[in-house]
A and B are shown apart, each in its own frame.
Chain A
């Protein structure tokens, strides 16, 4: 079953120059919930201040959409999330050597050990946890499978394959997601970026390969060239896969327009 994870309030807001107040984030969360979005990634609690407060207040709304928070692989980040009481805690582990060596200045083994510690910590607190495979499209696939396998053994039910720099193409997406589904059997979420204009195509391919959870943002906003555009993805899924065959695309565009008018209101 195809489910949308909306990350407008996290990756979308990370688009340079976008800045939302607590009230605006709450308004957007309500609109997303009304549109039937399965999961709302509400932000990064470790930022503290207004960001953390906005997440706390979104959780308090008791929406039908599941509320999740984004965390780096460190206990301190997760503690901030725990305080917000979301439905899902998402822990993002860098998986490419570029990210592990250049950004973290660590080794692959450190990533697996630290991820396991963070997973245990969040799971013991009683949260549903999803694991992010940051920069998965540039990772060594063997290592990626090791990370997923270890995460799955620790109790993670879903992993997010992130095409962090938006360079993936649909054959590779299909092959790698299919292999993850076959080898490990965890639920897969796909997180696209649009740097080569292929975010929608890659997301469709990921769904066809067995990723039931697709990350989108309203208007496709996000870092650099943005993420998978929600309305465009729905239109493609409806036109190419016969998903949402009974819905009117105008409703999706209206939701997107309402959110965009909040984000870009002067």
Chain B
């Protein structure tokens, strides 16, 4: 299910989360794996990267899901063929091995050759290698890394290679310097038509581009009509956490539990009048809800609103006392206050 970006542009997205999870953990539940594929596919993923370890865990290849198999040996290539997977991804060095190349060619596999670059200078080296015929890929070229690429010149450099050698290019930025999602969206805006990343950027080292961040950026900046439905992200996160035993930070972009919690008086006032003043997108788009919480930074209006929600009413004359009590309690507890704590404060304020 490729994404339509308008002007006849199609974007393909490849997810490589599973082999990364298997790099650390191999006791995974097959149902979780299949659920992960099915839910993520609804968001626009075209291909799921798998490797030998993932395939061993899935008894039967699921229908309706397309895979790209990471092959490191002739034996693994044969497994890819046996399982009926049409796409494979291999490191460029493997293409120097004629036996390896022969298996790919004879079996008509669609191959993506992965080549790691860190900077724009490395992209020019790649041009030389193609010129010397060291890379015999006829399929796609995946540019992995781009770790230290900070100017947009990289897009032109890759486009010139793509045209010169008639290659489709897939970019898979590494997140070494926290730039991967930004590079992916920059590439898509610059005309790249395939990107590879992972859910929440999960992966060895510092991981990859977080696909959900890239999808949301496409929605906001490129084509709001693109059929991207991210409302099942909470379910996807749940399955992912079960597989990885990971606790997702509450402020993780796009998927964090608390990203739509608001407390400060200024923000509460703005959101009350029009949520778009302080929200980048509607929480419902990512399956979340906005929530007003009461704490040290709350203002009078927020406290009155919250009390009203709780079926309570604050006396106008008492509101400053209530606010002072809220601030002291919040500092003491080092957190926002619960509804019951707020009700207790209201009660005490009447006594004071």
Contacts and interface: CB of A to CB of B under 8 A. Distances in A.
A239 B177 contact: yes
Given A17-B335, A265-B334, A98 B277 contact: yes
Interface of B: 147-148, 150-152, 176-179, 181-183, 185-186, 189, 201, 210, 213, 216-217, 220-221, 251-254, 256, 258-267, 269-270, 273-274, 276-280, 293, 295-297, 324, 327, 330-331, 333-336
B336 A16 contact: yes
A239 B206 CA distance: 14
Contacts of A49: 324, 327
Contacts, number: 169
Interface of A: 13-21, 47, 49-51, 72, 98-99, 102-103, 105, 135, 164-167, 169-171, 194-198, 200-202, 204-205, 208, 220-226, 229, 232-233, 235-236, 239-241, 264-266
A111 B297 CA distance: 25
B111 to A, nearest CB: 31
Nearest to B216: A196
A201 B74 CA distance: 39
B330 A204 contact: no
A102 B280 CA distance: 15
Most B Cβ at <10 Å: residue of A166, A201, A233: A201
A197 B181 contact: yes
B213 A198 contact: yes
A101 to B, nearest CB: 8
Given A225-B252, A225-B254, A236-B178, A16 B262 contact: yes
B259 A225 contact: yes
Given A102-B274, A194-B253, A241-B150, A19 B262 contact: no
Given A16-B261, A17-B293, A201-B179, A72 B266 contact: yes
A242 to B, nearest CB: 10
B260 A224 contact: yes
B217 A169 contact: yes
Contact of B181 (A51, A201, A232, A236): A201
The 7 closest A-B pairs by CB, nearest first: A201-B182, A102-B274, A16-B261, A19-B296, A200-B178, A236-B177, A197-B213
Given A102-B273, A201-B182, A266-B334, A195 B263 contact: no
21 contacts: A14-B264, A16-B262, A18-B296, A19-B296, A102-B276, A105-B273, A135-B277, A196-B181, A196-B217, A196-B254, A204-B177, A204-B179, A208-B150, A223-B278, A224-B251, A225-B253, A239-B176, A239-B177, A240-B150, A240-B179, A264-B334
A167 B178 contact: no
Contacts of A223: 262, 264, 267, 278
A99 B277 contact: yes
Contacts of B148: 239-240
A19 B183 contact: no
Most B Cβ at <10 Å: residue of A16, A49, A166, A204: A16
A15 B257 CA distance: 13
Contacts of B150: 204-205, 208, 240-241
A222 B251 CA distance: 9
Contacts of A171: 152, 186, 189
A265 to B, nearest CB: 7
Nearest to B279: A165
B296 to A, nearest CB: 4
A171 B280 CA distance: 18
